[in-house]
Structure 1
Amino acid sequence: MTGISSLGVGSGIDIRGLVDQLVAAERAPQQNRIDRQAERFQTQLSALGQVRSALSSFQTQVRDLAQQNSFLSTRATSSNEGAIAVTARDGADAGNFDIQVNRLAQAQSIATGAFASRDAVLGSGSLTFRFGAVEQDESGAVTGFSQNADKATRTIQIDPANNTLQGIRDAVNGADIGVRANIVNDGSGERLVFSSTESGEDNGFLIDVDSADAALNRLAFNESSTETIITRSASNAELTIDGLAVTRSSNTITDLIDGVTLDLRQTTETAARIQVETDNSGAREAIEGFVAAFNELQGKLRELTRFNPETETAGPLNGNAAVRNITSQLRNALTAPLAALEGREVRAMADIGILTTREGGLELNADRLESALERDPDAVAALFGRTGIVDGGGFSFDSSRTATENGRYGVNVSELASRGRFSGAGIGGGPISIAEGDNTFRILVDGTRSEVLTLRPGDYDSPNAVARELQALINGSSVLRDGNRSVSVSFDIETNSFTVTSQRYGSESSIAFNSVAAGLSASLGIDGGVATAGTDVQGTIGGVAAEGFGQFLTGQSGPTNGLKLKVDGGQTGDLGSITYSRGIMSDLDRILQDFIGANGSISNQTNSLNSQLSRLDSDQERLDRRMSQVESRYVAQFSAMDQMVAQMNETSQFLSQQLATLNFNNNNNRR
């Protein structure tokens, strides 16, 4: 302030200090109130931040536990890992199995005759690879062939750009047709070696050559070839499981024991013991982690809301209604039984050994948990996550939505889903001849149209041979493969007709032919054939009509809204019931989100405290302005007083000087 540094000069009083003391004394009550409130609000904000963090950490644990597949797992072991390695997915069939490997699956390999060099020019033409089971005599000569209907015939064009051994090798490998080519020098010259990329008898192959050049024709491997030899025959794996003989095309077997993958590595003299059992260790660890996380949360809430009667001190959130509400709602959710599990031994946390303590925390009885997992693992899973427990057959639980409510719902199917198909006209039995140049067509599968396809010309010994070739050709279409479209082709000996059936179910499933060569149409009975569209499954869930799409039936309203079932059995009528449970974790997640979400009570309290802190900032500004005015008033008042005192001092000094002069003059006059 102007003049403050010279205050008190006139009076000799410490006016600056006096003004500061007076202002401080007047400021103190209101400043203390603001400081106390600001400190309390800041402390509460910090405490609420700790609560939010603790709740968020617990919510993460809750959401992890809701994924019940993460802890209900299956373990598989092999007594001879060197011969049979084994893995199991969750839910695999438990049991003990004795498996002996008598033969490993092999992929076919063939070697051409020797050539002078890798750069030898073989001529132009085409190599056609047909896939299936190759029959041989003792000398290795091809005596028969059965087409693999699931593998399309593939053709590689050979021209001056790729007509050397190296060029052909690269063309075959680049085409990705299921055959790998290599060049090997065995001492007699350079040979092309072709090997199937898949093992199994049905994955052998023949090579037909269409060329006017003798050198290129040396690569042929079929009933009439003489130079290319088979070096390794295609064979299936042969094994016994509990004494039952089985064969598979691959050494990796996924369909022998449900949910179990076997990796055959070598043959065995004796059986290996395969053990598949439920692995509860993951469940125990996950549930122990949940109990620990809840107790950590409760500890933090107790710390922030405590009251110590001895010291009469309270935590920053003591008496906070929202925090009390959090504790109450979480405890209620954890102790209430699930109505959806009515009638089962496991329907509440206490049934699996999760018990509340006197302090409000949780404790786990490991023996009770183990017993529950052994008795009813599905119900244990239903306690924690979204689960559908099926009582019946012909359908399975697929998924649900947030709107789906807990409950037990009957399932009734009035119409099964069907696949679109094309049924040809009768053609008669016996061999079928397909003429070259009159053998092309296009096909629409589920609305996707293929490129122009060419059925291999020649004489087929039976309609079934044509069916296998036709199925392989259609499924080998690059356009249809890209669209994930496929078909099956069969021949009915009773009606003497071909049927092409989509692999997809539902109203979007269909088969249609167009641009069919006249001769091919007549040979296959396409003229006069009938196309039938697929249909969606129809039925009810919980007595309410559900929407069908393919094999999936989905509830559209009421408690079953969003409940999605897959109906893949072969029966209609009442199929049983499904017990759906959102799980306690879903309820906990919702409760937690209500508190820590953007519009939750924690956010509301935080916003309220921030508003009050903003109000205190305004109070502080007003107090500072008022105190500045008070200070200015005191300074003005004391400045005026100081000036008056200074003037009085000056007058006093003047009078003193005058009196002194008078006294001096009087003394001189007396002399």
Structure 2
Amino acid sequence: MLASPGIGSGLDVNGIVKQLMAVESQPLTALDNKEAKQQTRLTAFGTLKGALSSFQSSLSALSDPAKFTGVTANFADATLASVSATSSAVVGSHSVEIQTLAQSHKLKSANYATTSTAIGSGTLTIQFGTYNGGTFTLNPDKAAQSITISSDNSSLTGIRDTINQANAGVSASIVNDGTGNRLVIASNDTGLSNALKITTTDADTNNTDNAGLSQLAYNASTGGTTNLTQTAAASNATLVIDGISISKASNTITDAIEGVTFNLLKANAGTTTTLNLSRDTASVQSTVSSFVKAFNDLNKTIVDLSKYDATTKQASILTGDSTVRTIQTQLRNVMSNPLTTAGGGLSILSEVGITFQTDGTLKFDSAKLTSVMSDPTKDVSTLFASVGKTSDSLVSFVSAKNDTVNGEYSLNISRIATQGTAVGSSAAALTINTGVNDKLDLTIDGVSASVTLAAGTYTATSLAGEIQSRINGVSEISSAGIKVTLSESAGKLTITSNRYGSASTVSITGGNGKLDLFGTPVETSGVDVAGTINGITATGSGQTLTGAADSSGLVIKITGGGTGARGTIDFAHGFAKKLDKLVDDMLNGHLIDSRIDGINASIKDIDAQRDTLNQRLADTEKRIRAQYTALDTTIASMTQTSNFLQQQLSNLPSTSS
């Protein structure tokens, strides 16, 4: 057999086999084309899912009811204050006079030659409160802080750094006044109630002299030690709003006008400035406009994927696809069907200027939306978001789920939520002695902690403040986000957890001060609110009730009032929520995924057909090549015989005729 096909016979065996296999391989090309088309369809559905996801993202802003009730604040003189407002603010105008700014309490030390001058070691205890008439009243909302000054950090610099690292509500700095170095200690918070009281436990055992760490003592109450000097008194911000005098501890004021926050920048006593509060229509216009654009972008994607060009007679990759038609139909149906129980005086999108055009896109008339927003009888939020309107002012809508059914729900409360308490059985001892009755062990809302009270003689009110500040300041309690409130009545102390519900508990478990301060306390755990929504028992947790059956997922909060019938909750899903649920079902259900799964199955089947066809083609090529190789060999042999015979014949003697 010849090593190279065609050499002996002159036949182009490789070329012949290649051409024959090209014909045999035509089904393989058809499979490749078929797979390419399926891959294109797969890409198209991926593009469609991406467009739906982008549209769904645009719905989140419309789903927030507060987005439609926003209020803008304009302060005529922006150099005096910056002002912002929330949706709870009432539209109107106010006259404002800023008389003084709030100020932090600042104290300075004596003059020291260098920053490395040794001061002393021991413990600094910092408390916050109000000085008035020679007395210091603790701020019960600010926990006392103890800072240990080691002998290694007893210099002016070391004490400054230790104070700043303690995160104790004060800051320390060193100021050189040209004659020496002074330690300046300032409260981080402004206001009369954040004045500083600094006591020391001095390593030299004398806590009141002007030596060692007690050089930093400051107690401006009658009989107190004031080795530091006040450089700036703690003071409140004072202002007059609509003729009403107001005093606040901070220059950031959030509770002077409901829903309005002032950030005071400068005082200007004697001059009034106007604050105007108006509906934030611009934000709503922008949000609705973005929604319309997002829908039109989705619509363009759908049209591009499924259109038929009559001019070129060219179809798109998804022309005539039933899934695309279903998506278009469902979106349009949701946006066209009126809301039945919106409760805000609006039921269709055209009422706020959103209408369908003949090409399937949306058109937005912003003037119509502005007109509706100026109508106090209309609530645009109910047209888009999931909103519950309550008839009782002490009942508020919190949230709902996609499966909560639209409707009016009656509310009946059988139990109001309460807080956990521990009430003293006898009047508290008002003198606290170190190591005698200064410790309490407590468990608040399931978290255990121990506190140590400062020794001294108190009134019942100041003792309540001391205990409250110590409990709220202990790390185990504060890090868990837990707080308590202390109160007194006829000398008896009460600790109340700030939490509501069955998880709210206060237990005084021990400590040498338990008996003197609380006797045998009466401890009562909190209870969850209980009641029914539409006659069906709801689940209570703290002050919130969560409905069942049709009201499943409906969460409301009851902040007070009595038991019995408490009015109604008028609930409805707006268009944004309805669309969000629809798109979510499209993306996470079987509508598109089943088509993608089908395409992937087709591609897998094509791969299997290709494998089978490739194997058959390999066998065919082997057979054809074998046949032509045999033919090549035969022709080569015959050629050799022919050549031999011609040679022999040419050697025969010639004959004459």
Same fold per superposition (TM over 0.5): yes
Instruction: Report which stretch shifted further, 328-337 or 303-312.
Output: 303-312
1:509 is aligned with what amino acid? Answer: S
Report matched runs for 1:192-211 at 5 Å. Answer: 192-209=183-200, 211=205
2:164 to 151, 173, 188: 173
User: Contact 1:378–1:389 at 8 Å: present in 2 too?
Assistant: no
Tell me which structure has the larger Cα radius of gyration.
Answer: 1
- 3-state SS of paired residue (2:189): coil
Counterpart in 1 of 2:394? 394
Name the CA shift for 1:355/1:647 in 2 (closer, same or farther; >3 Å): same
The CA distance in 1 between the partners of 2:640 and 2:196, in whole Å, is 129
The CA distance in 2 between the partners of 1:122 and 1:651, in whole Å, is 125
Name the CA shift for 1:627/1:108 in 2 (closer, same or farther; >3 Å): closer
Unaligned 5+ segments in structure 2 are: none
Report matched runs for 1:99-498 at 5 Å. Answer: 99-114=96-111, 118=115, 121=118, 127-135=124-132, 143-156=134-147, 160-186=151-177, 190-209=181-200, 211-212=205-206, 213-216=209-212, 217-218=214-215, 219-222=217-220, 223-224=222-223, 225=225, 228-268=228-268, 269-341=270-342, 344-375=344-375, 379-427=379-427, 432-442=430-440, 443-458=442-457, 460=458, 462-493=459-490, 496-498=491-493
1:448 is aligned with what amino acid? Answer: V
- 3-state SS of paired residue (1:505): coil
The CA distance in 2 between the partners of 1:22 and 1:182, in whole Å, is 94
Q: CA deviation at 1:574?
A: 2.7
Unaligned 5+ segments in structure 1 are: 137-142
Instruction: Report which stretch shifted further, 252-261 or 364-373.
Output: 364-373
Q: CA deviation at 1:327?
A: 0.9
Instruction: Report which stretch shifted further, 212-221 or 350-359.
Output: 212-221
1:85 is aligned with what amino acid? Answer: S
1:105 is aligned with what amino acid? Answer: A
2:184 is aligned with what amino acid? Answer: V
Once the two structures are superposed, what CA deviation does each residue of 1:123-171 show, in whole Å capped at 9, x if it has no partner?
Answer: 56654444322136xxxxxx33323222334445566445554444444
1:236 is aligned with what amino acid? Answer: N
Q: CA deviation at 1:379?
A: 4.5
The CA distance in 2 between the partners of 1:58 and 1:569, in whole Å, is 41
The CA distance in 2 between the partners of 1:199 and 1:135, in whole Å, is 17
2:555 paired with 1:564: yes
Name the CA shift for 1:345/1:8 in 2 (closer, same or farther; >3 Å): farther
Instruction: Report which stretch shifted further, 164-173 or 433-442.
Output: 164-173
User: Contact 1:84–1:262 at 8 Å: present in 2 too?
Assistant: yes
Name the CA shift for 1:568/1:6 in 2 (closer, same or farther; >3 Å): same
Instruction: Report which stretch shifted further, 37-46 or 281-290.
Output: 37-46
Instruction: Report which stretch shifted further, 570-579 or 368-377.
Output: 368-377
The CA distance in 2 between the partners of 1:592 and 1:247, in whole Å, is 52
Once the two structures are superposed, what CA deviation does each residue of 1:633-665 show, in whole Å capped at 9, x if it has no partner?
Answer: 598389769958996997899699989989x64
Identity percentage of aligned residues: 31
1:215 is aligned with what amino acid? Answer: A
1:285 is aligned with what amino acid? Answer: S
Q: CA deviation at 1:470?
A: 2.7
Q: CA deviation at 1:32?
A: 7.0
Name the CA shift for 1:351/1:120 in 2 (closer, same or farther; >3 Å): same
User: Contact 1:393–1:575 at 8 Å: present in 2 too?
Assistant: no
Counterpart in 1 of 2:597? 607
Name the CA shift for 1:421/1:633 in 2 (closer, same or farther; >3 Å): closer
Name the CA shift for 1:199/1:16 in 2 (closer, same or farther; >3 Å): closer
With the length of structure 1 as denominator, give the TM-score of the two structures. 0.84
Instruction: Report which stretch shifted further, 162-171 or 226-235.
Output: 162-171
Once the two structures are superposed, what CA deviation does each residue of 1:5-37 show, in whole Å capped at 9, x if it has no partner?
Answer: 439948xx9888777777766766x56754664
- 3-state SS of paired residue (2:305): helix
User: Contact 2:372–2:378 at 8 Å: present in 1 too?
Assistant: no
1:44 to 41, 45, 48: 41
1:514 to 509, 524, 528: 509
Once the two structures are superposed, what CA deviation does each residue of 1:501-527 show, in whole Å capped at 9, x if it has no partner?
Answer: 221111222222233436x734x3x22
The CA distance in 2 between the partners of 1:16 and 1:391, in whole Å, is 91
Report matched runs for 1:544-623 at 5 Å. Answer: 544-555=536-547, 557-597=548-588, 600-620=590-610, 622-623=612-613
The CA distance in 2 between the partners of 1:276 and 1:454, in whole Å, is 47
Q: How many residues align?
A: 645
Name the CA shift for 1:329/1:468 in 2 (closer, same or farther; >3 Å): same
The CA distance in 1 between the partners of 2:161 and 2:540, in whole Å, is 49
The CA distance in 2 between the partners of 1:655 and 1:191, in whole Å, is 128
Q: CA RMSD in A?
A: 3.8
Instruction: Report which stretch shifted further, 94-103 or 583-592.
Output: 583-592
1:263 is aligned with what amino acid? Answer: N
2:467 is aligned with what amino acid? Answer: L
User: Contact 1:441–1:516 at 8 Å: present in 2 too?
Assistant: yes
Q: CA deviation at 1:101?
A: 0.7
The CA distance in 2 between the partners of 1:163 and 1:14, in whole Å, is 102
Name the CA shift for 1:530/1:22 in 2 (closer, same or farther; >3 Å): closer
User: Contact 1:553–1:566 at 8 Å: present in 2 too?
Assistant: yes
